[in-house]
Amino acid sequence: MTNKNELRKLQQKIVPILKSNNVVRAGIFGSYARGEAKKRSDIDILIKVRKGKKFSLLDLVGLQMELEEKLGKKVDLLTYNGIIWSI
């Protein structure tokens, strides 16, 4: 189970990395957001990159790897631009 204190600790580790990669908005979703995370749960993060900044698939994978190394957990990243909002 994930509590607010654990989420704050995650936030303290995640935010500096996201800022250094031109991420202007982010949110955690999935089991961590619902408070249902288990020891082997991954961390699902939705990100929005600063407008006008180039952010390639290689950048996304690099960011994912950096987060996984810092957090010691698998991270799934999703970008705002990767979502189809009109379904």
Classify burial at 14, counting beta carbons within 10 Å of its beta carbon; exposed 0-12, middle 13-18, buried 19 or more: buried
* Confidence at residue 13, expressed as pLDDT on a 0 to 100 scale: 96
Q: Is residue 31 part of a domain?
A: yes
**What range defines the domain where residue 61 resides?**
4-82
**CATH, residue 20:** 3.30.460.10
Chain position carrying tokens 């955690």: 28
Q: Which residue has the higher pLDDT, 3 or 24?
A: 24
Give the ranges where 21-75 is alpha helix by DSSP (H): 31-34, 57-71
* Confidence at residue 5, expressed as pLDDT on a 0 to 100 scale: 87
- Average pLDDT of the segment spanning 70-85: 90
Return the closest-CA partner of residue 29 out of 62, 56, 51, 7: 7
Q: Is residue 87 part of a domain?
A: no
Give percent of the chain with pLDDT exceeding 90. 72
Model confidence over 5-18: pLDDT tens digits? 888 999 999 999 99
Q: Which residue has the higher pLDDT, 84 or 8?
A: 8
How many domains, in total, are found in the chain? 1
Residues 31 and 43: their CA atoms lie apart, in Å, by 8
